[in-house]
A and B are shown apart, each in its own frame.
Chain A
């Protein structure tokens, strides 16, 4: 060391000690000040941030799914409401003894392997406080059995929630649609934590889907104070949910149910429209599905049962079923003819058919000399062949369109197939072929290229009955409903012909007169061939190849109030299958007791109400499916 050091003495050591002790003390004080500054920084400058983090630690927010808005009919009667549903969820963060709790649940609720797999899968995917559904719609007994064991099973959250309920079940399946738990895609789209809250359902089909924004309501929230281990210390506050808005439909719930029941075992559709304003009073497609099953999460086997049914219960035939309208188009053709200068009293002689060149178009009878109303009454093809040949179908197609055929309506929550009203331009565009006279002859009796859906037929009936361009509606929505540009004579003739169909001598629907005093129904039957014209008779044989039965009508004849269309698939004829159904539900509109008597008799013959029959069919199908080919046992 080159540095000159002071001599080391006791005194020097003492001074050095004091100096260094002060250095150490000063360093300690500096650290103390630094610590105080650090603390001040955390608790003053960063205070807001840490208060927030402390609160988010302490408070756990649970969403309470909102009660869905009701869907009610024109009189306020519920078509879709909510019922109490007892459910059990697992809060993953609070589940400490997973194996034990799941084992207990399995025993107590008799859960099957599929359910356990799903719960395990959900538990793996779930995080934190996001509840995982265990069971819904439990019985009071099951619920109570869980409640009493709650203290031994931490992590289990019993809840009194609400589930969608459709009081009339299958009768409103196609009309209302159904609700279901949101799937992963829907959650991705909505990014709403409510979508992954057990018990929350969204509209999946029909009106439930269309009115989802109105029906959904606002979720409630439950704020609870939780410990780090997830134990709830106390409820802080609960914000109640706001129920979704009620949707008022124009439907008459009682009529809807009656019509659905009256359809019996047939496959088909029936629509009833109020002739004064276009309100749809009933909108039925049968057979149907029970929307309650869908809302509770339909089982695979029930779904395959519905899919396997050749009566196609999953398709709404009222808007998506396209049928050749058959003779139900004849009143329309009459209106078109009169507006093109045909005198309704002019007579044509039916010789059992009509000769066009070297082809002979058959009539169903030999009606002799008929005028226009009589031709409608007897559904004489020859007369209309003659009209069509004379005027051409291009003269009639615009009238058909004015009456609503081929039109897609703005109707809440429906997807429609709107069919075809052909004319020469259409054929040229579609097939690049000239329109022929035989095309006109086929079209005028509602065969050939013509296809319509039952809703359009009902609208046509309502427009003929009212003389106005009524638009069908399911909710209170204003349409102009201006008068149709038809002559009063044309409309009167069509109505007269339809009156005769039911009430005239030898009308095709004479057996379907209303059993009422002073109220009569007008209508027109139709029989649409499923096979090509002239092949087979369509009156017997395999169900699939039988003729469709159709009927349009309105009542009362004077000052019409209700218009309707009924299609019975493979019903073998309008007068035989469709008109009697219309007769009964038209009766119901004026005299409920009388109509119910008739229905009770029918249902006794069919084997019970819709639900009873569906349950039985399902059980039969299930046992049939499970006891399939029985391998022969070696003796």
Chain B
């Protein structure tokens, strides 16, 4: 019998396998989307994945304590960056979402998706159990979510703002706040939809309207959704075959390598490819949920649940968008779409969840 050294055993091979499978599949699609070429997207995405995977593994080795200690600091730091972006955009005359750091463009709103979860988890972990149903459990959280969400909406970036809200709200939910608070918020929210709608920019309003009736403007703003559905629908069960997707290769599918990459994949790999990808995502999310339930600390529980939700939100909104179930909001498919920002966010989430998993293996559960 072969004795596996503990150092090797400690590496989460199953997780790496799932992440690599998703990304690897994505690389094949990117290769095809570039017309059967590793450049300009596939090789860069591959290299980026390896780097970020290493980063995630490194984050996973950090003691969980560090995240808890630095959570508020990180939150305030990212909030300042968000304001800085807003000011720069104001000075530059136009909307701006990123800061040029010289070696890369940093999108603070992406970082906020992670830090809001961590900061709220810290807040509820520190909250005395008796206060769970009190006002003090609510208002600080609402402010912590509301301020960055409002800043991101100003950019304007509806998708990311929603993502920040959802991540925060899920942390509040699993923290045990009364059910009826959420119920009445949902009711109030639906009542406020027309008011909120009027706050949206023209092009955002148009996107929502087009989403409600894509066929009304098949060559204009409904073009994205129509072409995406054609790509998915024409793929059928088995797909048109690798490198044979006409919708993507002939440029009918817009953003075929970023936001609409699922349609590019579905055209060539069909329903089978789509279900395989969904299964891989299911494995990733199941891992996240399991880590949350088995977490040793309350901070770990809340963080893992929130971050899993953040990953899920990416997947769900993106897939709903490409299948015509949600407006075009510009959210990429995690690990699959070409792009560094979203991969950085996802891998950071994965790294932190990994740290929680490692933490739960080291000690006994605190509250049993």
Q: Select which of B275, B301, B325, B368 is within 8 A of A17 by beta carbon.
A: B301
A39 touches B129 (CB 8 A): no
Q: Mark A8-20, 1 if CB is under 8 A from B, else 0.
A: 1111111011101
Query: How many contacting A-B pairs (Cβ < 8 A)?
Result: 142
Q: Select which of B170, B246, B282 is within 8 A of A54 by beta carbon.
A: B246
Q: Mark B245-259, 1 if CB is under 8 A from A, else 0.
A: 011001110000000
Q: Bound state CA distance, A228 and B367, in angstroms?
A: 61
A54 touches B230 (CB 8 A): yes
A47 touches B301 (CB 8 A): no
A54 touches B247 (CB 8 A): yes
Instruction: Of the listed stretches A27-35, A496-504, A584-592, name the one at the interface; the rest are far from the partner chain.
Output: A27-35
Q: Answer whether residue A368 sits at the interface, using C-beta atoms and an 8 A cutoff.
A: no
A58 touches B230 (CB 8 A): no
Q: Answer whether residue A356 sits at the interface, using C-beta atoms and an 8 A cutoff.
A: no
Q: Bound state CA distance, A227 and B246, in angstroms?
A: 9
Q: Mark A510-542, 1 if CB is under 8 A from B, else 0.
A: 000000000000000000000000000000000
Q: How far is the CB of B315 from chain A (nearest CB, A)?
A: 8
Q: Mark B233-252, 1 if CB is under 8 A from A, else 0.
A: 11111000000001100111
- Tier of interface size on chain B: 35 or more
A20 touches B271 (CB 8 A): no
B275 touches A9 (CB 8 A): no
Q: Check A50/B234 contact, CB under 8 A, given A17-B174, A28-B312.
A: yes
Q: Select which of A21, A38, A46, A233 is within 8 A of B301 by beta carbon.
A: A21
Q: Answer whether residue A619 sits at the interface, using C-beta atoms and an 8 A cutoff.
A: no
Instruction: Of the listed stretches B6-14, B23-31, B100-108, B285-293, name the one at the interface; the rest are far from the partner chain.
Output: B285-293
Q: Check A21/B251 contact, CB under 8 A, given A9-B129, A35-B319, A51-B236.
A: no
Cβ < 8 Å to A, chain B residues 127-162: 129-130, 132-133
Q: How far is the CB of A206 from chain B (nearest CB, A)?
A: 45
A18 touches B271 (CB 8 A): no
User: Which residues on A sit within 8 Å (CB–CB) of B292?
Assistant: 21
User: Which residues on A sit within 8 Å (CB–CB) of B323?
Assistant: 35, 38-39, 42
Q: Answer whether residue B316 sits at the interface, using C-beta atoms and an 8 A cutoff.
A: yes
Q: Which of B251, B266, B271, B298 has the most CB of A within 10 A?
A: B271
Q: Mark B299-319, 1 if CB is under 8 A from A, else 0.
A: 001100100010010001001
Which B-chain residue is minimally distant from A28 (CB atoms)?
A: B312
Give chain B's interface secondary structure class. Answer: helix
Q: Select which of A14, A18, A47 is within 8 A of B234 by beta carbon.
A: A47
B278 touches A35 (CB 8 A): yes
Q: Select which of B229, B233, B251 is within 8 A of A229 by beta carbon.
A: B251
Q: How far is the CB of A224 from chain B (nearest CB, A)?
A: 11
Q: Bound state CA distance, A565 and B18, in angstroms?
A: 98
Q: How far is the CB of B270 from chain A (nearest CB, A)?
A: 6
Q: Answer whether residue A225 sits at the interface, using C-beta atoms and an 8 A cutoff.
A: yes
A10 touches B367 (CB 8 A): yes
Q: Bound state CA distance, A57 and B319, in angstroms?
A: 23
Q: How far is the CB of B168 from chain A (nearest CB, A)?
A: 13
Q: Bound state CA distance, A50 and B323, in angstroms?
A: 13
Which B-chain residue is minimally distant from A34 (CB atoms)?
A: B325
User: Which residues on A sit within 8 Å (CB–CB) of B237?
Assistant: 43-44, 47
B285 touches A28 (CB 8 A): yes
User: Which residues on A sit within 8 Å (CB–CB) of B81?
Assistant: none
Q: Answer whether residue A36 sits at the interface, using C-beta atoms and an 8 A cutoff.
A: yes
A53 touches B234 (CB 8 A): yes
Which B-chain residue is minimally distant from A39 (CB atoms)?
A: B274
Q: Which of B230, B285, B316 has the most CB of A within 10 A?
A: B230
Kindly list the 5 A-B residue pairs having the minimum CB-CB distance in the complex, ordered from nearest: A50-B233, A54-B234, A228-B251, A16-B176, A25-B289
19 contacts between A and B (CB under 8 A): A5-B133, A10-B367, A13-B367, A17-B175, A17-B176, A17-B302, A21-B292, A24-B309, A28-B312, A29-B282, A31-B316, A35-B320, A35-B325, A40-B271, A42-B323, A43-B237, A54-B231, A57-B227, A58-B247
Extra contacts, 13 of them, besides A39-B319, A54-B230 (Cβ < 8 A), are: A13-B367, A14-B368, A17-B301, A21-B301, A24-B170, A24-B174, A28-B316, A35-B319, A35-B320, A43-B232, A43-B235, A43-B270, A47-B236
